[in-house]
Amino acid sequence: MNKPYTIKTGCKINLGLNITERRPDGYHNLQTIFYPVPLYDELKIESNPLAPRSLPLAPIEDVLMLCGNPLEGEVHDNLVLRAVRLLRQEGASVPPLSIDLFKAIPSGAGLGGGSSDAACTVRSLVQLYDLPFSDEQMERLVARLGADCPFFINPRPLYAEGIGDVFTPISLSLEGWYLMLVKPDVHVSTREAYSGVRPHQPVYSLLETAKLPVGQWAGRMVNDFEESIFSRHPLLAEIKEKLYHQGAAYASMSGSGSTIFGLFRSRPDCEENFAEHFTFVCQL
């Protein structure tokens, strides 16, 4: 690689999320719709010039530099580096790398930023080094890093079942709608999110509801995590209510994280109402 390779890695929101049953293996079956969002992290990948080259059996040394929004956990355990190691375990010839990751997507937000970084790392390396992996093979590979990782190999609206890893493409477009994300300084762990859910069959079909106009989604398209998480973190419920008060046609929490999003017909003029939180507004 003669010069750094730079790629933007997007995120997603969950348009509704139903927890339908607890599985014998301890996981939960769910139903949700993933929708891509143009809020991006940025990856810069290049060969690591400081890695040892004189000894053929010298250990492969990758370097990951992080900047932007802070991340929890050890750098060596970041999903980006785990994705690189996973490719090598599958026999891919990838030299030592130096990777810069700029985090614009907040972590622990239910937006899939880490999963996107990992999937886009794999996709980028496959392209850069002409590795013999098809999209399906890459999806199966990154699924070992997280159930939602395969979505980011080829982001498009998808209906997800199982533990969130069985995908069906759907015809759904929010083109022209304005999206507002609000992420307060509230952390909701996956363990906490699932500890409060009560699996049940949804009253309304998620797929059928998605065919209705967005203005009819409220009350029919729900996120089952909200009931218990809102009771523990009432600020999230307040943000959702405020988005509706500001004119959102539909508002919800995304995934099991703490981002609340609203869909608006015109650009929302209410960012100052959430000045103490992370916000992002775009037209889809």
State how many domains the chain has: 2
Q: Distance between CA 244 and CA 246 in Å, rounded?
A: 5
Q: What is the DSSP string of 84-142?
A: HHHHHHTT-----EEEEEEE-SPTTSSS-HHHHHHHHHHHHHHHHTT----HHHHHHHH
Give pTM, 2 decimals: 0.92
Domain boundary among 169, 189, 224: 169
Residue range 128-167, pLDDT digits in tens: 999 999 999 999 999 999 999 999 999 999 999 999 889 9
What is the CATH number for 33? 3.30.230.10
Looking at the structure, do residues 229 and 257 belong to the same domain, yes or no? yes
Q: pLDDT confidence of 270, banded at 50, 70, 90?
A: confident
DSSP classification of residue 59: P
Q: pLDDT confidence of 260, banded at 50, 70, 90?
A: very high
Looking at the structure, do residues 100 and 207 belong to the same domain, yes or no? no
Looking at the structure, do residues 126 and 70 belong to the same domain, yes or no? yes
The two three-digit tokens of residue 84, written as one number: 């690189």
Looking at the structure, do residues 45 and 161 belong to the same domain, yes or no? yes
Q: Which residues are catalytic?
A: 12, 148
Looking at the structure, do residues 75 and 11 belong to the same domain, yes or no? yes
Domain boundary among 169, 203, 223: 169
Looking at the structure, do residues 144 and 189 belong to the same domain, yes or no? no
Q: Distance between CA 208 and CA 26 in Å, rounded?
A: 29
| Residue range(s) defining the domain that contains residue 123 | 5-169
Looking at the structure, do residues 160 and 221 belong to the same domain, yes or no? no
Looking at the structure, do residues 182 and 165 belong to the same domain, yes or no? no
Quote the mean pLDDT of the chain. Answer: 92
Q: pLDDT confidence of 2, banded at 50, 70, 90?
A: low
Strands (E), the chain: 5-22, 28-47, 63-68, 97-103, 158-161, 166-169, 178-183, 250-253, 260-264, 278-283
* Stretch 257-273: mean pLDDT: 93
Q: Distance between CA 78 and CA 118 in Å, rounded?
A: 9
Looking at the structure, do residues 22 and 132 belong to the same domain, yes or no? yes
Residue range 12-31, pLDDT digits in tens: 999 999 999 999 988 899 99
What is the CATH number for 247? 3.30.70.890
Looking at the structure, do residues 32 and 68 belong to the same domain, yes or no? yes
Domain boundary among 116, 137, 169: 169
Looking at the structure, do residues 85 and 51 belong to the same domain, yes or no? yes
Is the Cβ–Cβ distance between 256 and 194 less than 8 Å?
yes
Looking at the structure, do residues 133 and 246 belong to the same domain, yes or no? no
